[in-house]
Amino acid sequence: MVSSDVKQWPVVKGDYVVGDEASNVAVVTLASSLESSPRAAIWGTCMTENLGVEKVIINVVSNPHIRYVVVCGMESKGHLPGDAIVSIHKNGVDERRRIVDSKGAIPYIENVPLEAIERFRKQVEIINMIGEIDTDKIHHTVDKLSRCAEQYPEEPIFCVAPSTSDVKIEYREGDVFVCDDVYIDSTVGVVIDVQV
């Protein structure tokens, strides 16, 4: 679901550092932990070709200052999130929401609206430095790119995940005894404390 409500940025949590929120540059270091640059808007890892890429997209489209995404560091084996970011930017997703031409194990974007994916593709340019771990080179790239492009001319997009707070789970009886008054109902995957 897409919302126009004003939110605190970054919108979703992750393994990242926030620098200059008005910077034009976001840096994704893939599976490498690299010293961040304060001149980047956001700097962090991305380990998976699905949920990790979704978080990158959501945080980028919610900040129209970001016009470049530097993808660097070493790939997460099997997942290849860097390849997924480059591929979704270049090719988008198919009707099954699979990232077109991505080589990762499960490159499906299921929790981000198509509108936000298209906005990501229009808003930013991908700077492909996959495999680069020399922080001097990466910092130089960030310095060169920061503040050299206009802010994206449209309002930010805030992707809102459906709330699970209204979900009611009914249980019949637990079928696995754990200890006094605590059971597991394996049919619905719930731990039940009957004292509650």
CATH number of 2-159: 3.40.50
Q: pTM above 0.95? A: no
> In the predicted model, what is the mean pLDDT of the chain?
86
Q: What confidence category does residue 35 fall into, taking pLDDT thresholds of 50, 70 and 90?
A: very high
Q: Would the pLDDT of 165 be above 80?
A: no
- Identify the DSSP state of 64: T
pLDDT surpasses 50 at 151:
yes
Closest CA to 48 of 119, 102, 124, 92: 102
What tokens were used for 131? Answer: 């495999």
The domain limits of the chain are 2-159, 163-196
- Select the more confidently predicted residue: 161 or 14: 14
* pLDDT of 148: 81
**Mean per-residue pLDDT, 174-178:** 55
pLDDT for position 54: 97
Handedness of CA 154, 155, 159, 163 (dihedral sign): negative
Q: What's the pLDDT at 116?
A: 97
